[in-house]
């Protein structure tokens, strides 16, 4: 009986560290907070990467490795503004080998259960401008935050993923992506991206 009680307590104590939900990945944080505050908030659950990952206007060196949304494990990247060093956005990603339509549907269902129907539905058809890669987005504006779920399908028609741009080496192209971005409403429009103008 004592061993069962100890095992049950260990499951309760260790469970959240291994499978944090979406709310655990960002509630209690605030926009503009420094990396030191994020590390204090997440403690041992956070991983500090040896080298930061560049996201253009921001970088991420702090991640949560297992954030489960709709039964799908994602990695949370805490993107810090390059100019201020403060939290700019949180991006959750599915590892590329696990990006599938069922995983995307499970994540979307979990987001809809938590936040209701999305405020905007966006889509990009496959074509030259998108590298022949279809994309679908769902956008929620809630409590001063924008939550954007993005699913980009795989394609073997684009040459970007081919070794040295040579399609003769076999099927290659762009891999699928499954992202959830959380940002302050002023920093991200709560609607569909404006399509680029034809030149």
Burial of residue 7, with CB atoms counted within 10 A of its CB: 0-12 exposed, 13-18 middle, 19 or more buried: exposed
pLDDT higher for 158 or 126? 126
Burial of residue 79, with CB atoms counted within 10 A of its CB: 0-12 exposed, 13-18 middle, 19 or more buried: buried
pLDDT in tens, 20-45: 467 777 778 899 999 999 999 999 99
Distance CA 156, CA 91 (A): 26
Q: What is the pLDDT of residue 93?
A: 93
* Sign of the CA dihedral running 195, 53, 91, 101: positive
Helices (H), 43-144: 101-115
- As a whole number of angstroms, the longest Cα–Cα distance in the chain is 73
Q: What is the pLDDT of residue 168?
A: 54
Q: 107-123: buried (b, 16+ CB within 10 Å) or exposed (e) per residue? A: bbebbeeebeebebebe
Other C-beta atoms within 10 Å of 124: how many?
Answer: 18
pLDDT higher for 173 or 28? 28
pLDDT in tens, 49-106: 999 999 999 999 999 988 999 999 999 999 999 999 999 999 999 887 778 888 888 9
Global pTM value: 0.74
Short-list 59, 55, 111, 107, CA closest to 80: 59
């Amino acid at each position: 009986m004592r061993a069962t009680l100890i095992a049950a307590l260990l499951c309760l104590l260790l469970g959240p560290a291994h499978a944090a939900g979406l709310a655990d990945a960002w509630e209690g944080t605030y926009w503009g907070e420094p990396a030191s505050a994020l590390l204090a908030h997440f403690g041992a659950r956070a991983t500090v990467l040896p080298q930061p990952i560049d996201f253009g206007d921001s970088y991420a060196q702090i991640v949560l490795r297992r954030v489960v949304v709709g039964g799908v494990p994602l990695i949370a990247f805490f993107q810090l503004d390059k100019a201020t060093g403060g939290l700019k956005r949180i991006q959750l990603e599915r590892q590329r080998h696990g990006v599938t339509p069922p995983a995307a549907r499970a994540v979307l269902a979990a987001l809809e259960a938590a936040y209701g129907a999305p405020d905007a539905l966006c889509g990009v058809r496959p074509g030259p401008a998108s590298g022949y890669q279809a994309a679908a987005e769902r956008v929620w504006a809630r409590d001063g935050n924008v939550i954007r779920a993005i699913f980009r399908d795989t394609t073997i028609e684009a040459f970007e993923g081919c070794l040295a741009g040579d399609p003769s080496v076999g099927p290659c192209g762009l891999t699928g992506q499954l992202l959830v971005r959380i940002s302050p409403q002023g920093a991200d429009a709560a609607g569909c991206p404006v399509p680029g103008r034809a030149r």
